[in-house]
């Protein structure tokens, strides 16, 4: 397949079904399919509602959704500048090796530069050697000494209900 057959474009509301299918494909690859709770209505509301939480760039091959990058803005206090955080990058297996992942990453890097971002960051599972190798080839550096922390589910609700979190904090 020629590179001209690959199209990258911002996702539209009518792409929600394709985005959900790609999210499920990513979850299967990461052996986390059991954790997917997203549905089309939630995605439509959070990606295309009055206050979008994230953006998506879709990669299409001959009009079919081949991959995606879902990202949002974060902020660096040390730089006093916005950053771009890549939440998910996924290319369907049958479309790998065509340069789609690199094109998606380059598109996001270009957006980060255009938007004045000081950083473009993401996380990767430590067992995902192919992804880590890809990221090293494009110049990414692992953040040694940093670990991702997360509150979710009952732990999140419990801390939110903590009586010490008063309005005068």
Residue 29 annotated among the catalytic residues of the structure = no
Structure tokens at 65: 């959704």
Structure tokens at 137: 């080839």
For β-strands 55-61 and 6-10, DSSP reports them as: antiparallel
In 3-state terms the chain splits into helix, strand, coil percentages (rounded to 5) of: 40, 25, 35
SS3 6: strand
d(CA 147, CA 140): 17
CB atoms within 10 A of CB 46: 13
Catalytic residue among 75, 85, 95, 135: 135
CB 81 within 8 A of CB 44: no
Residues with catalytic function: 135
């Amino acid at each position: 397949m020629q590179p001209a057959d690959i199209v990258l474009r911002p996702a539209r509301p009518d792409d929600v079904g394709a985005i959900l299918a790609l999210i499920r494909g990513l979850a299967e690859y990461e052996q986390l399919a059991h954790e997917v709770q997203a549905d089309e209505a939630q995605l439509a509301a959070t990606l295309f509602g009055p206050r979008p939480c994230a953006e998506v760039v879709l990669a299409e091959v001959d009009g079919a959704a081949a991959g995606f990058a879902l990202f949002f803005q974060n902020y660096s206090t040390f730089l006093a500048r916005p950053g771009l955080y890549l939440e998910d990058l996924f290319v369907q297996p049958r479309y790998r090796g065509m340069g789609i992942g690199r094109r998606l990453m380059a598109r996001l890097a270009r957006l980060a530069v255009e938007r004045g971002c000081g950083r473009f960051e993401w996380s990767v599972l430590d067992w995902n050697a192919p992804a880590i190798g890809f990221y090293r080839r494009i110049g990414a550096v692992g953040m040694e000494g940093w670990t991702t922390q997360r509150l979710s589910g009952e732990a999140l609700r419990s801390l939110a209900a903590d009586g010490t979190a008063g309005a005068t904090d």
